[in-house]
Amino acid sequence: MAQWTGFELNLTGIELLLPDGIRADAAVDALSTRVPIEEGPGAERDLRFYDTFDGLLHGAGLAFVHASGRSALVSLEDGSERAAITAPEPPGRLLANELEPGGMREALSTVIESRALLPLVHIHSAERTFGVLDGSEKTVVRLVLDEPAVVVSANRRIRLAPRIRVAAVRGYDKALKRVHETLLDDVGLTAADRSVLDEAVIATGGKPEGVSSKVDVALARDQRSDSAAASILRRLAEIMESNLPGVIADVDTEFLHDYRVAVRRSRAVMRELKGVFPAEQLARFRVELRWLQQVTGPARDLDVYVLDFDELRSGLPEASRDDLEPLLRVLRDHRVIAHREMVRALRSDRAAELRAQWPAFLTGLVGLPVDGRRGAVLPIGELAGERITKVYRRMVKDGRVIDDSSPPEALHELRKKGKELRYLLELFGLPLHPGDVVKPLVRSLKSLQDTLGRHQDREVQIATLRSFRDEVSTLRGGAAALMAMGVLIEHLGEDEHAARAEFAEVFASFASKSQRALVKEAFSA
Amino acid sequence: MSRVLATYNIKGGVGKTSAAVNLAYLAARDGARTLLWDLDPQGASTYLFRVRPKVRGGVRKLVRRRSDVEKLIKGTDHERLDLLPADFSYRHMDLALDAAKHSTDRLARVLEPLRREYDYIFLDCPPSISLVSENVFEAADALLVPIIPATLSSRTFEQLEALVAGGPQVLAFFSMVEVRKSLHREVMAKLRATHVTMLGAAIPSADEVERMGVERTVVAEIAPGGRAAMSYEALWWDVRRRLTAGGS
């Protein structure tokens, strides 16, 4: 049975705004001369909304709201509840796997996965309810007059525009239509184009859809290459900047992931389009960004271990899964240390200098003399196309000579090139070339990269497991853990072999004749 | 899944409609999505909720499932409480049922699509023993039977239990009780002693119950905190408890 929620969300339905400067009382007066209304009970409520940093719930048409000792996941479209729990006010940060197993945890984790819910906005709503009556004094339409405010702090509130929600009474559609028209045409209300939730988020300077870590920079084919590179790199610097506080506070693992992707993409742009930058500065910033990549690496690797631990463990027979607990403890301890070291680096003067100088350099790039950077004035369509073709051909060439006797490094190198190509395609290919050419290439590249990635990940995992052996052995339960780790290493080794065996096939499709022809046609000038 | 509760008695004028209307109101007030189907052609509960007693297509189409029952439902003045109104054609419901196939479970079939949408469905039944009541016994999870504590009430109760044996749970309660009458007090004591299924709550014969017809609303709005309102609350509490215990 659906539980009585104690609050109806009213995020949806017909919502109307009062004309500017009209007070709620005046609107009620105006209303009562047009339609017979009767006032019902009023209510004041405090609604606290939560979403992930990147607005995953909003994007999925959902809201997580806490009110009166109860948290609910509701649909923004029709207000229906997907899940609800009785719980105290959520803490400043809530991960799905911190909830008790059950409907809420399941519903949340399918949408937000490993991202944390963060407080989005606190709305105080003061509502008066009215029934519009027919000739038999029966309520045929319900009206809710809401005077909402955003609670910023204990002594600061931002008042939002009062709004009237028009709610249907089942079976009285004609009356609803009539009342709606009267309110618009006669009383002079206007349709609200945003929900009160979105309105509140905007009032606090936030974005209802969350902070995106997508690049999404529009480019033109004939744009100067240095200007195109600078706008992409500036956007990447912005993504690094917006994720940095979450990285430092360790809010969830995706902050660091998105931060590092932005760093890696920036480095790829610098490497692939080196001709557009002055050589001296390029060299300096390449060193600095590589340093950022390095100081954030160990923390990310350990994040991945902890995130993947359950999957790793599921490779063991049921009976020995618990034996791995000591390993998880070691991983967690190392993760804490790695994170601490990373934060120290990110807070250092060196990092601060880079954060200030890098965007400034990018902003000034187009104004610098073009001597010694020939690529700068080339149209980006031409330059990017040339680079994409080159990297692709290089991969085809390198990949062809890989056989069963090649060392693992050959596959690692190919994977690195593949990342380069992928970034070129995503950053410059998609905005400048038709999607029906770029997307299939990205797909076949992705499946090649998955195979190469699996191969390398397994190797690294095996090495890491081995490196923790001594430490695990000193813990209680260490002997059993070591045995379980031995089984894991064996499994991982088998998977590494399997990935290696798959390589020939996925590479053949990536380097096929038709694919090569497509690349030639699409990206050659 | 929803629970279907029918207020039923072979006799008329015992407080069936008052019980259906007030209990449905309390269910909705507590947060349950609630529907009341006024099966009585006189349409007393439809009148109390100020809804027009009209069902498009009439009873024949309805029991043959030729009309879209969801479109016939009307919201009441109370949130979460909806009404499937009475229609004058319901006076021929017996004939309509008799003419249809599977004549004893037609009403259950009409309710089928609604059981997902509502937590409680109340049936306000006309007094009779007929094909309509047979359908009600088939559709209902429990019968809520108002009994006036008079000489023959014990007999009425036993007859009913025999009639629905193996069917829905029977939850009887005293209705229109006048505590000043020693006869009422004696009958109540005796019945409670002999029939364990008798509910503890009893609805008094009260002014506010009678005024429901004038004010066209539930007792909780006419005299909140009054004796009748309190008794219906106690009755609803009792019913819910028994339903859970019965686990039907």
Indicate yes or no: CB of B75 within 8 angstroms of CB of A168.
yes
Which of B31, B82, B216 has its CB closest to that of A4? B31
Q: pTM of this prediction?
A: 0.80
Picking from A2, A142, A169, the nearest residue to B119 by CB comes out as: A2
Interface test with A, best of B25, B26, B45, B50 (most A CBs within 10 A): B50
Q: Which residue of A has its CA nearest to B51?
A: A138
Judging contacts by C-beta atoms under 8 Å, the chain A residues touching residue B48 are none
Across the interface, do B32 and A4 touch by the CB < 8 Å criterion?
A: yes
Contacts of B81 in chain A (CB under 8 A): none
pLDDT at B163 (0 to 100)? 86
Round to whole Å and give the CA distance between A233 and B53: 70
Chain B residues within 8 A of A136 when measuring between CB atoms: 50, 216
Q: Which of B37, B51, B79 to mutate to test the interface with A (most CBs of A within 10 A)?
A: B79
Q: Which CATH number fits domain A14-203: 3.30.70.1380, 2.40.320.10, 3.55.10.10, 2.60.40.2480?
A: 2.40.320.10
Scanning B147-206 for CB atoms below 8 A from A yields none
Q: A14-203 and A214-378 share one CATH topology?
A: no
Which CATH code fits A381-525? 1.40.20.10
From chain B, pick out residues whose CB is under 8 angstroms from the CB of A79. Answer: none
What 8-state DSSP symbol labels residue A485?
A: H
| Sequential pLDDT tens for chain A (525 residues) | 333 333 455 544 688 998 887 888 888 888 899 889 999 889 899 999 999 999 999 999 999 999 989 999 999 887 788 999 999 998 889 999 999 999 999 999 999 999 999 999 999 999 999 999 999 999 999 999 999 999 999 899 999 999 998 988 999 999 999 999 999 998 889 998 888 999 999 999 999 999 999 998 999 999 999 999 999 999 999 999 999 999 999 999 999 999 999 999 999 999 999 999 999 999 999 999 999 999 999 999 999 888 888 888 888 888 888 888 899 999 999 999 999 999 999 999 999 999 999 999 999 999 999 888 989 999 999 999 999 999 999 999 999 999 888 998 999 999 999 999 999 999 998 888 888 878 888 999 999 999 999 998 888 889 888 999 999 989 888 899 999 999 999 999 999 999 999 999 999 999 999 899 988 888 875
Residues of A in contact with B216 (CB under 8 A): 136-137
Buried b (16+ CB within 10 A) or exposed e, B6-40: bbbbeeeebbbbbbbbbbbbbbbbbbbbbbbbbbb
Least confident of A461-475, A488-502, B92-106, B182-196: B182-196
Structure tokens given for B167? 């069917």
> What chain A residue is nearest to B116 in terms of C-alpha separation?
A1
Distance from CA of B106 to the nearest CA of A (A): 24
Task: Give the residue from B77, B83, B214 with the most A CB atoms within 10 Å of its CB, the best one to mutate.
Answer: B77
Distance from CA of A37 to the nearest CA of B (A): 13
10 Å CB burial of residue A513 (0-12, 13-18, 19+) is: exposed
Domain count for chain B, please give it.
1
B54 touches chain A (CB under 8 A): no
Question: Nearest-CA residue of chain A relative to B54?
Answer: A171
* B119 contacts in chain A (CB < 8 Å): 1-2
CA distance B113 to chain A (A): 16
Token pair 């045995």 is found at A483
Q: CA A394 to CA A388: how far, in whole Å?
A: 10
* Residue with the larger pLDDT of the pair B160 and B37: B37
Contact A239, A232 (CB under 8 A): no
Q: What pLDDT, on a 0 to 100 scale, did the predictor assign at position B247?
A: 45
> In A, which residues are within 8 Å of B75 by CB distance?
139, 168-172
Q: Please tell me the predicted confidence (pLDDT) of residue A4.
A: 35
Is B50–A2 a contact, with Cβ atoms under 8 angstroms apart? no
pLDDT(B248) > 50: no
Q: How far apart are the first and last CA of chain B?
A: 11
Contact A131 B77 (CB under 8 A): yes
Nearest CB among B30, B75, B77 relative to A171 is that of B75
Kindly indicate the confidence band of residue B36, based on its pLDDT and cuts at 50, 70 and 90. Answer: very high
The DSSP line for chain B is --EEEEE--SSSSSSHHHHHHHHHHHHHHTT--EEEEE--TT-HHHHHTT-----TTHHHHHHTT-S-HHHH-EE-SSTTEEEE---GGGGGHHHHHHHSSSTTSHHHHHHGGGTTT-SEEEEEPPSS-SHHHHHHHHH-SEEEEEE--STTHHHHHHHHHHHTTTSSEEEEEEEEE-TT-HHHHHHHHHHHHH-TTS-S-EEE--HHHHHHHHHTS-HHHHSTTSHHHHHHHHHHHHHHHHHHHHT-
pLDDT of B196 over the 90 cut: no
Which residue is closest to B120 within chain A, CA to CA? A1
Q: What is the pLDDT of residue A525?
A: 58
| Structural tokens at position A7 | 């609050």
Name, in order, each residue with C-beta under 8 angstroms of A398's C-beta and a sequence gap of 6 or more.
A410, A413, A414, A417
Distances (CA, A) of A460 to A302, A408, A412, A497, A504: 12, 11, 11, 14, 22
Cα A446 to its chain centre, rounded Å, is 20
A456 exposed, middle or buried (CB, 10 Å; 0-12, 13-18, 19+)? middle
CA atoms of B212 and B47, how far apart (whole Å): 10
With contacts defined as CB-CB under 8 Å, which chain B residues touch A143?
none
Cβ B51–A138 below 8 Å, yes or no?
yes
CATH superfamily of A214-378: CHAD domain (1.40.20.10)
Domain that holds residue B23: 3-246
The tokens describing A177, both together, are 């239509």
pLDDT at B106 over 90: yes
- CATH number of residue B211's parent domain: 3.40.50.300
Domain boundaries, chain A: 14-203, 214-378, 381-525
**pLDDT tens-digit readout, B216-241:** 999 999 999 899 999 999 999 999 98
B138 touches chain A (CB under 8 A): no
Amino acid at A42: G
Pairing of strands A62-67, A70-75: antiparallel
Contacts of residue A46, defined as CB under 8 A and 6 or more positions apart, other chains included, come to: A67, A122, A123, A124, A125, A151
Q: Which residue of B has its CA nearest to A135?
A: B50
Burial class of residue A200 (count of CB atoms within 10 Å of its CB; 0-12, 13-18, 19+): buried
pLDDT band at B245 (very low <50, low <70, confident <90, very high): low
Q: Which residues are paired to A38 by β-bridges?
A: A131
For residue B25, what pLDDT band results from cuts at 50, 70 and 90? Answer: very high
